[in-house]
Structures are given as structure tokens and as C-alpha cells.
Amino acid sequence: MRCAPPGVNPAGASQIVVISQLTLRHEHRQAMVDHVRSLWPEEACGLLAGLDGQVQRVYCIENIRHSRYDYFMDPNQQVRAMLDIEAAGWEVCSIFHSHPAGQPLPSATDVDRAYYPDAVYIILAPASGSDWVMRGFAIREGQVREVQLNSVP
Ligand SMILES: [Zn+2]
């Protein structure tokens, strides 16, 4: 995503609420894994909406680059998802994408393009067999910090 974040903290760093964990239901993890697996070996991407660190809905969005090494969300789908999220009273709490042949860690490009300081960047990567692993990160001003991903049924 290359657009500026809608709510960039005009008041200064002291106003940033530090997100230390994100809670996902099993169905959310499953929806993300199904999406990234179905598009392998291309990178897949999407948004998670929720409130207060609790994910409520997964939005799978087309990677218009159709690349194994890069992603760019379809702007129309992204806007539609954002409007839906706003109408539901949620916020974008996470931006996820896959590294089909890599590790679940932010690349230098991911850090450069982390325009949403309040979002958790989730990266999925293949594990053994048909499994996928996911890890979450807060990326602010080039600093990467892991965010705990909690699972609930
Ligand atoms: Zn990446």
C-alpha cells in the first residue's frame, strides 16, 4: 500500500498507542492461510479489521502485481474494504501478506513501505508440509518490533 495512513499521529510520538498483541479467532487464521495458499507461489495480501486488538473480519485483497516477490493491493478492493470497515465501526488493525518462498519476517522493502504505524504487519510463510506460519510486527520509523498473535477458538 502506498497511500498515506488516514490517521497519522499529528500530535507526536507520545500519542502512539503501542499495540503489543493481536487476538485472532481460528476462522481468521484459516481464512488467511487458505487465501495465501491458494495464490502460492505468488504473494497474497489483505487486511484485518477489528477493534482494541481483537480481529473481527478478514479482507482478502488481490495482489495486482501477481508477483512472487512483491505485492500491491488492488486499490478498488482496498477502498471497498476500508469503507466497509468504517461502516462497521472497526479499524484496520492489520495488513497481512505472504512470503511464498521466504521467512515470516519483514523484508527491507516491507520496512520501507510500512506507512501505517498503528497497524500490525502480519507475514505468512510456508512451514513444513502444507502448513503456514504467521508472525506479527509493529513497524515504526524503520524500527521493527514483534507483536504477539493470540489465538482463540
Ligand atoms: Zn514482504
Which range among 55-59, 111-115, 129-133, 138-142 has the greatest average pLDDT?
55-59
Q: Is the pLDDT of residue 4 over 60?
A: no
pLDDT band at residue 7, thresholds of 50, 70 and 90? very low
CA 96 to ligand 1 center in whole angstroms: 9
Find the 61 Cα to ligand 1 centroid distance in Å: 15
Q: Is residue 63 part of a domain?
A: yes
pTM of this structure: 0.87
Which H or E run contains 33?
helix 26-39
Instruction: Give the number of domains in the chain.
Output: 1
86 noted as active-site residue = no
Which range marks the domain in which residue 89 is found? 17-152
Q: What CATH number has the domain bearing residue 92?
A: 3.40.140.10
pLDDT band at 13 (very low <50, low <70, confident <90, very high): very low
Per the domain annotation, does 3 fall within a domain? no
* C-beta of residue 134 within 8 angstroms of C-beta of residue 123: yes
Give the mean pLDDT of the chain. 89
Each residue of 132-151: pLDDT tens digit?
999 999 999 999 999 999 99
Instruction: Please state, in angstroms and rounded to a whole number, the distance separating the CA atoms of residues 31 and 33.
Output: 6
Residue 4 domain flag: no
Neighbour tally for 107: CB within 10 Å: 14
Element spanning 87, H or E: helix 75-87
Query: Which of residues 153 and 11 earns the better pLDDT score?
Result: 153
| Sign, Cα dihedral of 72, 47, 75, 142 | negative
Distances 120 to 24, 115, 145 between C-alpha atoms, Å = 12, 11, 10
Q: Cα of 75 to ligand 1 centre, how many Å? A: 18
CA gyration radius for the chain? Answer: 14
Q: Is residue 137 a part of any domain in this protein?
A: yes
